[in-house]
Structure 1
């Protein structure tokens, strides 16, 4: 990604001063003899590293990782059974490592009186800690990043409630720090998000506060309402130009779209398949974004009478189309895919055939093993070589010019528009329909299909009906590749409906990641306190209390998502 070179700079600049929350029995500070003292480090170089790390990890999760699959944008068809048997995810070590770097930058900014850098580091801190508490629950927060003290004490855990509220306080502080137009020592080339524009950072701080106030809408409705109401009057992201995004510029793997095959394994790209949850909905709405995100199936399937099979027999391919004799379906245990019946068909032992003429997705949790044989794929090898299921658009494989499409989109103008629409539907704001339509328009524009807007918003299921469900459904579509927000919106509101799939580990979707084993082993006592705050459910009783199906505080005593 742009300015990815600064990731290398990080390792040259930063001595190993902190452990996150769990590492080793060291009681002395380790110092890198080749490093630079923290009080000599340039915060401009440090924050650019945090920005790029945050952007790449978020997109990697949301495109082809845990959260992209959880939001049911994608499924993987090899080396994954898609059963949602969640473990630690990839967030803990990544985020705490970035937080360590960000802490040094923040301390330098405070020491030097650099309000711009202090505000930016508070925003980055909030986003990184926000990810962590979203997915784990209670975490080391106020006591994190200090390492062991001389008595060997390890960082304690803060409650999820206190972490969320602390994040909001930091964001509101950051917005105040970023008021004005004159700041010292701002290197615009190192600010890879906003090129040193403090007004855009301030809008982001307020927009993130709105996101986190709304995150608490079901758990703490009064607190949420008060926060949302006051934040709506502040400067917010107000155009696509204000979005928090970062372009993938290509050239090398680290600067390229995740799982693309141009600089790595081609099968990494081919293993990522569109999920039927999103393809079915896009087809239902006649949504033009489907052609931007997904490729037409290479070999569509038609079920026809025996006399229409080319060359006779029960199955044949001709001119890029596969034909199957309809009279043999029952005797072979085949069933034609339908979103309404596929789960029951799988549970009945049927083999699915998808006769979609253009886009064929991979259903959720459709196999107990790798689903590379889905839709009667007989090639019999892993690696995504299934010509009977659609692939992602070649734009994401870097085989075509991605133009302005290949971006890490961490906070979009569409998202703020849908947040405002939701606030209005809840009675906490105004202009629900206007903001809803603005969110759709913004998403269509960034994906290059804005000319379809007028027709699209009149489609059945898209035309505004005043419900929370329709807002969350369009927000889910607009958050394509930002799996974090799409999944967390579902966990908060239950919209859109996401089923775990016929062969998932449990009958419901998971709610959290489990704590990493290193943390459990090295910060055992404090971790046990954090894990004890989780609420056991009927789906978590086969695990310890640290289960993907145990409820963290934010979904305790609420009715969503299950």
Structure 2
């Protein structure tokens, strides 16, 4: 009898445990992706590392103006933003985890991860100021969901160190001509990635120009000089062939050029959007041949009776960013404002590549540093090369045209005037490229002078940052408030001045 009972109990236990196992198996998500390849995560990071042209950012860069309030404005009345960069940083962390699982064959992704950590942390601190860094991304591994806010100085210090390490780590891979998969920017060429790492580092160092003399522990000038003076160790993006740019295509509607109409019908007239005066005025003042490529003459110039109107710089006019939208609309209807050149920008669904960091910027960054005395070298040659690469990017390749433009706008030497020339030309080269960099450079240098007028929605001020995400007040309030007190005496608005821009 006992044997029979034991047998029954044994069968019941076997059924129970097998049922539990089956239940656990059934509860697994069949659509879940486990042990994803590092190359797939890498591709996703690339998709989310680019900033598109023709956005609100480009109006805040004062490249464009919009005169229809229904579709948007350029009033600078932004307040807060989000922590989108941390979503990508979690993806970077996952790429590191998966690369370490694979081992040596995937080790190059670990070097690239250091670049992306710096890239996205810089993106966040540029917007807000102090941000979580040293304790960030530890929720899953350590249960720390309340990271402290690191000072902006410490964030930049750590990012510069990450970039130095990324360059060092990439060097043997470049020497071995190692390729990485999943790369639709550089086709896996790590030599180009190494150039990007160092060029981005120059961008970061230039962004800290206001802190170059009062933060000796950052060695801003010394780092800049070391990079510029040693191209063998620190290769750079100095020609357009190495640009970090998103190339759109025509085969997939999800990757068509952002300006391309969804129905494929290009209407070569858009009275709602016009070129900005801050941008156009520099082009016409300097007799810049790029204006004939990117813009159209005003309708009033076309109807003036002047047969040569299309070849005259006086035929191009931009709308002032601070102007009331009703006034801008009246000007547009009257044919007094220039529109974009649709034949250039919309020649096909692939449009024009969106440069995220390019040769012209790097050349101008070097010229700026030499002008400021950070490194030895000929600022004039880098200034001219920056212009040349930008002009060529916009399709002006005639050498005599480029030479004439350079002659008319000769570098004024390592003076304040020369510095303004560099900064203005860098601004021009940013047109529809590099996201908010034109605004960030203005915020740091005041060049070019931005328009402020009656349409400004921020008390006649150009904002200097974004307020922290409102969600932080719920999930990490104590650390956020400590950071606000440290930086802005407790205030959190778009007009606070961060450490890097004081």
* Bin for the TM-score computed over the shorter chain: 0.7 to 0.9
CA contact (8 A) 2:177 2:190 kept: no
2:27 aligned with 1:80: no
Larger Rg: 2
Deviation at 1:83, TM superposition (A): 1.5
Aligned to 1:274: 275
Q: Deviations over 1:74-122 (max 9, x none)?
A: 1222233422112234xx3432222222221122223424331111122
SS in 1 for 2:355: strand
2:439 aligned with 1:490: no
Structure 1 counterpart of 2:366, from 417, 420, 433: 420
CA contact (8 A) 1:499 1:508 kept: no
Distance, in Å, in 1 between the alignment partners of 2:269 and 2:139 is: 39
SS in 2 for 1:445: helix
Aligned to 2:225: 229
- Where structure 1 has 5 or more consecutive residues not aligned to the other structure, the ranges are 1-29, 302-319, 324-355, 379-386, 537-543, 557-562
SS in 1 for 2:436: helix
- Where structure 2 has 5 or more consecutive residues not aligned to the other structure, the ranges are 1-26, 306-312
Distance, in Å, in 2 between the alignment partners of 1:360 and 1:457 is: 23
SS in 2 for 1:218: helix
Distance, in Å, in 2 between the alignment partners of 1:395 and 1:528 is: 51
Structure 2 counterpart of 1:212, from 200, 204, 212: 204
2:4 aligned with 1:47: no
CA contact (8 A) 1:259 1:268 kept: no
Structure 1 counterpart of 2:431, from 469, 480, 503: 480
Q: Deviations over 1:371-392 (max 9, x none)?
A: 66231738xxxxxxxx553222
In 2 relative to 1, CA 132–396 (structure 1 residues): closer, same or farther, beyond 3 Å?
farther
Aligned to 1:549: 495
In 2 relative to 1, CA 59–49 (structure 1 residues): closer, same or farther, beyond 3 Å?
same
CA contact (8 A) 2:249 2:255 kept: yes
Tell me which stretches of 4 or more aligned residues in structure 1 moved more than 6 Å. Answer: 148-152, 182-185, 264-269
CA contact (8 A) 2:67 2:73 kept: yes
CA contact (8 A) 1:132 1:139 kept: yes
Distance, in Å, in 1 between the alignment partners of 2:244 and 2:152 is: 25
SS in 2 for 1:286: coil
Distance, in Å, in 2 between the alignment partners of 1:431 and 1:85 is: 41
Aligned length: 448
CA contact (8 A) 1:279 1:360 kept: yes
Moved more, 473-482 or 431-440: 473-482
SS in 1 for 2:274: strand
Distance, in Å, in 1 between the alignment partners of 2:41 and 2:459 is: 42
Structure 1 counterpart of 2:52, from 31, 43, 59: 59
2:321 aligned with 1:364: yes
Distance, in Å, in 2 between the alignment partners of 1:424 and 1:407 is: 30
SS in 2 for 1:273: strand
Q: Deviations over 1:203-251 (max 9, x none)?
A: 2111211221221121233421111111222222232222211211134
In 2 relative to 1, CA 532–280 (structure 1 residues): closer, same or farther, beyond 3 Å?
same
In 2 relative to 1, CA 176–425 (structure 1 residues): closer, same or farther, beyond 3 Å?
same
SS in 2 for 1:179: helix
Moved more, 278-287 or 136-145: 136-145
Distance, in Å, in 1 between the alignment partners of 2:267 and 2:322 is: 20
CA contact (8 A) 1:138 1:533 kept: no
RMSD across aligned positions (CA): 3.1
SS in 2 for 1:130: helix
Distance, in Å, in 2 between the alignment partners of 1:445 and 1:106 is: 38
Deviation at 1:359, TM superposition (A): 2.5
Deviation at 1:182, TM superposition (A): 6.6
Distance, in Å, in 1 between the alignment partners of 2:117 and 2:328 is: 40
Q: Normalized against structure 1, the TM-score is what?
A: 0.73
Distance, in Å, in 2 between the alignment partners of 1:269 and 1:148 is: 52
Deviation at 1:521, TM superposition (A): 3.0
Structure 1 counterpart of 2:487, from 514, 531, 534: 534
Deviation at 1:255, TM superposition (A): 0.9
Q: Which structure has the highest helix share of the two? A: 2
Q: Normalized against structure 2, the TM-score is what?
A: 0.81
Distance, in Å, in 1 between the alignment partners of 2:314 and 2:370 is: 40
Q: What does 1:183-198 align with in structure 2 at a 5 Å threshold?
A: 186-188=179-181, 190-198=182-190
2:347 aligned with 1:391: no
Deviation at 1:402, TM superposition (A): 7.5
Distance, in Å, in 1 between the alignment partners of 2:113 and 2:478 is: 30
